[in-house]
Amino acid sequence: MFTLGLDIGSTTSKSVILEDGKKIIAKALRVGGLGTAGPEEVIAEIMKVSGLNESDISCSVVTGYGRNKYEGCNLEVSELTCHALGSQIIFPEVRTVIDIGGQDAKVICLNDSGRMTNFVMNDKCAAGTGRFLDVMANILRADISELEVLASKADSPATISSTCTVFAESEVISQLANGESRENVIAGICNSVASRVSSLARRAGVKEKVCMSGGVAKNGAVRDAMSKALEVQIEYDSLAQYFGAIGAAVYAFRSNKK
């Protein structure tokens, strides 16, 4: 049985096809989320990559920031549920999922049976999200993919005290103008994101194993800073950005079986 999961984020669209709810047959990602052609493009891409037709898909589920605006799937499911399910496929013993996306950050707590017991979300402020990193990368004239490498070269990470993106932007510009190195500023920015999200995690309650999902999970500097802030090991897999889509495909499989 083939099932499809579609995760429509604020900046990217991700899709995964599973066989029998476990084996990943294909995955695809397109820049462009809610309000763009991204969702349609990623579906077309994953069908091409998998060699399947839409008639081969037994059930499809859409999740993510833009799920309420998409009508091309059988079901729509909360991203909290899907990130919890997707993370368990990769890390069966995970008990805390830290998801940092383009527009929000979520901490999801799971019990020993894998059921969600609590969550805390920041969806009102860009600080502690991928958007914050995008804004800062633009100021520093760096590609978002370069931040981890540049941060690793810091000898004394700068302190970014502002918790608001607008004020932090001014703070970063001032630090650069005062001669602070780009590497130290970038390390400080990554630490700032980790500090903001780790406070969410402490409110939710952190229980090991802990993993990260979402696009920001790819940034090793943020992961390392989060690990230090929470004093726990942060599990990471290269599929982290697809956890929501994987979970949606798992949900589709279980729903279809019922």
CA–CA separation, 199 vs 202, rounded Å? 5
Cβ neighbors of 37 (< 8 A, separation 6 or more) are none
**pLDDT at residue 123, rounded to an integer:** 67
CA–CA separation, 177 vs 181, rounded Å? 10
Q: Are 211 and 99 in contact (CB under 8 A)?
A: no
Cβ neighbors of 89 (< 8 A, separation 6 or more) are 22, 246, 247, 250
CA–CA separation, 63 vs 140, rounded Å? 33
Q: How many residues does the chain have?
A: 258
How many other C-beta atoms can be found within 10 angstroms of the C-beta atom of residue 165? 17
**pLDDT at residue 124, rounded to an integer:** 67
Q: Are 183 and 154 in contact (CB under 8 A)?
A: yes
CA–CA separation, 72 vs 78, rounded Å? 16
**pLDDT at residue 17, rounded to an integer:** 98
- Each residue's pLDDT tens digit in the chain (258 positions)? 999 999 999 889 999 999 999 999 999 999 987 778 889 999 999 999 999 998 999 999 999 988 988 989 999 999 999 999 999 999 999 999 999 988 889 999 999 988 999 999 986 677 778 888 888 888 888 888 889 999 999 999 998 887 777 788 888 999 999 999 999 999 999 999 999 899 999 999 999 999 999 989 999 999 999 999 999 999 999 999 999 999 999 999 999 876
